[in-house]
Amino acid sequence: MAELIQRAADILATSKSAVVLTGAGISVESGIPPFRGKGGLWEKIDPMRYAHINAFLNDPATVWKVLIKEMKQALDRARPNAGHMGLVELERLGILKTVITQNVDGLHQMAGNKDVIEFHGNFARLRCLDCSRHIEMAKVSLAKLPPRCRCGGILRPCCIFFGELIPHRALIRSQQASADCDVMLVIGTSAEVQPAATMPFIAKDNGAFIIEINPEPTPLTASISNLPVMGRAGTIVPRLVEEVRRRLAQV
């Protein structure tokens, strides 16, 4: 493990434009439950029944009660962990340029990252279906479901439900950032959800070095990852950042 982290630090310390793709794994240590995989939210509830846009529009009260309320409670408690803070430090050092995240928890911004592309939107904000007013999730009372805007319209999370398209700007920016980077960190994602899962392939096709940090192998591990480092983001990322910092201090 130490040798792998040393090699990853060597690569990052010379990078001019690193990008990171993050998934649920980086936020699990902050108390945010994953959607997929063992122990994931989709093991408890049927996503097509409660996480499809048609389900929300047909019965918003039930979707709020079964799905969104639990997520709000987790978000209210969540704070960035050492993995998030390590990425902020890589940005401060001038190495990390952009964060592409599949997560909807807003923890990268809370930690301090400046350029965050939210591929699936943001659960921490709500939008009124009638007047399009935005409001922070933390400021909304769940005493009555579904919560409503001051205009009377129903509030929905600003995340992407099943059946909705990825925001065009997020998709285009992610593709461009992936094509332009010289190193891509892939952290805490199964790399199975499309179209986000194509980003490491775009990076690889354009000459980027792929460093993967995951607790267990993914479809990327044996295919395009140049340097897989198996472990939790909250443990690996701080160690990696410390090694990068040492190398930069020697320059």
CATH number at residue 103: 3.40.50.1220
Confidence at residue 141, expressed as pLDDT on a 0 to 100 scale: 86
CATH of the domain at 51: 3.30.1600.10
Range of the domain at 3: 1-31+80-120+166-251
Burial letters for 211-237: b for 16+ Cβ neighbours within 10 Å, e otherwise? bbbbeeebebeeebbebbbebbbbebb
In three-state secondary structure terms, 105 is coil
Instruction: State yes or no: is 120 an active-site residue.
Output: yes
Are 26 and 38 contained in the same domain? no
Query: What is the structure's pLDDT at 242?
Result: 96
Q: Please indicate, yes or no, whether residues 183 and 227 belong to a single structural domain of this protein.
A: yes
pLDDT for 251 equals 65
Q: Is the same domain home to 89 and 196?
A: yes
Going from the first residue of the chain to its last (251 residues), give the mean pLDDT of each consecutive group of 10, the final group possibly shorter: 92 96 92 68 74 94 90 85 97 97 93 95 92 90 92 95 92 97 95 87 97 92 93 95 93 65
DSSP assignments along 41-62, one per residue: GGGTS-HHHHSBHHHHHH-HHH
Strand 121-128 versus strand 134-136 pairing type? antiparallel
Same domain assignment for residues 106 and 147: no
**Confidence (pLDDT) at 250:** 81
Write down the catalytic residue from 84, 120, 134, 168: 120
CB 18 within 8 A of CB 223: no
Q: What's residue 151's pLDDT?
A: 95
Does one domain contain both 216 and 143?
no
